Amino acid sequence: MSSSAGQPVQFEDVVEYRSKNDLPTSKRSRIVGIDTLLPSSIVPRPAGTTASSERAAETCFKWRGKGWLLIASSRWHILGCSATAHPADSPSGRPEWALTSFEKTAFTPAGLDIYSRTPEGLPAMLLEEIIHRAKALGGDVGKLAEQFFEVGRSAS
């Protein structure tokens, strides 16, 4: 993450994946972009959130692809996250997670993502709780939460 006086906060965003049909030993595909924290004055609040939610404006980013994906961009928001900085600090021992919403792009529809720092994903009860709370937001976010599905994980 970088930022200097007068410059927006930015960080490189790297996603690596394999297609369902790829062998576990095949090379991963890679998507690289830059995320830029947007000033709250130009941030529309995420559909389905309340107007009083100033925190949504503080957590809005614009992703822009690098390389051949330079033409692609999308805004995304952090809708929620675990309350502790480290899983060991959590009285319940629950793993770290984050819930984000993102706008549609030329390549993907709008959606929600739940991220986990643990390779095995989140416990079923915690996942259900996060989805339930996303549905409770109503609006577009609530509708998207109705469509959640788990993306398969493979060994690194």
Per-residue model confidence as pLDDT tens digits over 7-17: 889 999 998 88
Closest by Cα among 123, 108, 117 to 73: 108
| Structure token pair of residue 143 | 């509708």
Per-residue model confidence as pLDDT tens digits over 21-55: 889 889 999 999 999 999 875 555 555 554 444 44
Integer angstrom CA distances of residue 85 from 1, 79, 81, 140: 17, 16, 10, 29
Amino acid at 16: E
Asked if residue 59 has pLDDT above 70, the reply is yes
Report the predicted TM-score, pTM, of the whole model to 2 decimal places. 0.75
Buried b (16+ CB within 10 A) or exposed e, 57-86: bebbbbbbbeeebeebbbbbbbbbebeeee
Asked if residue 112 has pLDDT above 70, the reply is yes
CA gap 150, 22 in Å, rounded: 18
| Structure token pair of residue 155 | 């060994």
